[in-house]
Amino acid sequence: MISKMSHASIFVLNQDEAYKFYVDKLGFEVREDQKMDNGFRWLTVGTKTQPDLEIALMEIKPGLMLDEQTATKLRDLVSAGKLGWGAFDTDNCQKEYDHLKSKGVEFLSPPQERPYGIEAIFKDSSGNWFSLTQRK
């Protein structure tokens, strides 16, 4: 029986830049940062309050999982801001919005009332966008 999801992946254009964004700006913890013999880097981060979920920051480049054509298409989608990967919860959307904005996080929309709570939309260093949500 499957008991839970332990890892989720986000495709990024550059792992060093993603590291700076997720760790220095969002305040995530580094869970793993290992370089393999074949040049592959396994970089995972996560929130301090959710230790059982690791987010793999997967650099878009040809290799084990992607051919050149697929990598190019995926890089184009990510860098154009066409992919929204998920939602991050917060207890106070306005306060977290102000905090992240002061750290240089780019927001596509400020906190707004929604049927499900208060939501702001931000982009990571690669162009992926996320919901920052204070649930009702």
Q: What is the pLDDT of residues 108-123, one digit of tens each?
A: 999 999 999 999 999 9
CB of 114 closer than 8 Å to CB of 126: no
Cα distance between residue 90 and residue 120, in whole Å: 11
Q: Which residues contact 36 (CB under 8 A, 6 or more apart)?
A: 42
29 pLDDT tier (thresholds 50, 70, 90): very high
Q: What is the pLDDT of residues 81-110, one digit of tens each?
A: 998 879 999 999 999 999 999 999 999 999
CB of 122 closer than 8 Å to CB of 107: yes
The CATH code for residues 7-135 is 3.10.180.10
